[in-house]
């Protein structure tokens, strides 16, 4: 429970105090501190923060404050307000990011979350994606995310072209595909989109390298188009209709 509350934006002490208030219903600060296992001064600070966030309230009875939690749905409202604030701030942050980040940018990602970050960037960018070297690793290693990724690409109508070996069976339902001979094998999956080249290395754990460079991306696109012209359209086997008796 505490960890989940922290994921919603509460500090560790705020999460413990809010959880204690849920259990107690209404209580004085000293009892809240004892139940939460938090030092009294830290309890008062956390209560003040919860009051400011609208996640707690109090009534005064005989000059003594009795604290109580706000309904849990307020947590959702609080989280949504934070998301909305982030959206409003995003354009200004993006301008500062572009001004401060070098034009020639290389980033390294590790693990499945890193792979997801790169693929989410492809979705967010919304530009055509050119792929070569895919051996179905995403579908095999991250099947649930692979389904969400394909749906998101299709929903945003992002064009995808993929060059694969001719013995590949599953190549993704949202891609226009051409094939090269079986002997052509790539150790990494290359994605070319916008001014970026994303190299997905399916090691254990997987890694990704993203190169953001206009000239490098243009060179990779030119190389892809050369391979695309040389590749063959993928032939799909048609199912035979059942014979009428």
pLDDT in tens, 177-226: 998 887 766 668 999 999 999 999 998 899 999 999 989 999 999 999 99
pLDDT, tens digit (0-9, with 9 covering 90-100), for 120-134 = 999 999 999 999 988
Do 192 and 113 share a domain, yes or no?
yes
Clarify whether residues 143 and 38 are in a common domain: no
Q: Are both 123 and 218 inside the same structural domain? A: yes
As a whole number of Å, the CA-based R_g of the chain is 27
Both 216 and 127 in one domain: the answer is yes
Q: What is the pLDDT of residue 104?
A: 65
DSSP 8-state secondary structure symbol assigned to residue 131: E
C-alpha–C-alpha distance, residues 112 and 107, integer Å: 15
Q: Which domain does 66 fall in, by range?
A: 2-70
- Residues 210, 109 within the same domain: yes
Assess whether 111 and 225 both reside in one domain: yes
Residue 235 has pLDDT above 70, yes or no: no
* pTM beyond cutoff 0.75: no
In a domain, 148, yes or no: yes
Number of neighbours of residue 87 by Cβ within 10 angstroms: 9
Structure tokens at 143: 């099947």
Q: Is residue 204 part of a domain?
A: yes
Residue after which a domain boundary falls, among 11, 46, 70: 70
Do 119 and 66 have their domain in common? no
Distance of CA 46 to the CA centre of its chain: 30
DSSP H/E element including 20: helix 12-24
Across the range 221-234, mean pLDDT stands at 90
Which tokens hold the place of 228?
A: 């695309």
Same domain, 55 and 6: yes
Token output for 88: 């409003």
Does residue 29 share a domain with residue 138?
no
């Amino acid at each position: 429970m505490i960890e989940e509350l922290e994921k919603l934006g509460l500090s560790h002490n705020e999460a413990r105090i809010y959880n204690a208030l849920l259990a107690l219903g209404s209580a004085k600060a000293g009892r809240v501190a004892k139940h939460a296992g938090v030092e009294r001064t830290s309890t008062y600070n956390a209560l003040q923060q919860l009051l400011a966030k609208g996640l707690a309230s109090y009534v005064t009875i005989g000059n003594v404050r009795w604290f109580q939690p706000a309904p849990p749905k307020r947590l959702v409202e609080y989280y949504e307000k934070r998301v909305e604030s982030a959206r409003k701030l995003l354009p200004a942050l993006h301008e500062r990011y572009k001004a401060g980040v070098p034009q020639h940018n290389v980033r390294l990602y590790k693990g499945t979350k890193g792979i997801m970050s790169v693929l989410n960037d492809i979705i967010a960018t919304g530009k055509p994606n050119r792929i070569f070297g895919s051996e179905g690793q995403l579908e095999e290693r991250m099947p649930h995310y692979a389904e969400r990724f394909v749906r998101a690409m299709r929903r945003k109508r992002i064009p995808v072209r993929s060059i694969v070996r001719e013995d590949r069976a599953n190549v993704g339902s949202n891609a226009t595909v051409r094939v090269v001979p079986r002997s052509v094998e790539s150790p990494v999956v290359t994605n070319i989109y916008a001014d970026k080249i994303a190299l997905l290395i399916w090691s254990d754990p997987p890694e990704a390298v993203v190169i953001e460079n206009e000239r490098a991306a243009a060179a990779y696109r030119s190389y892809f188009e050369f391979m695309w012209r040389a590749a063959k359209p993928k032939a799909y086997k048609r199912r035979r209709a059942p014979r009428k008796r």
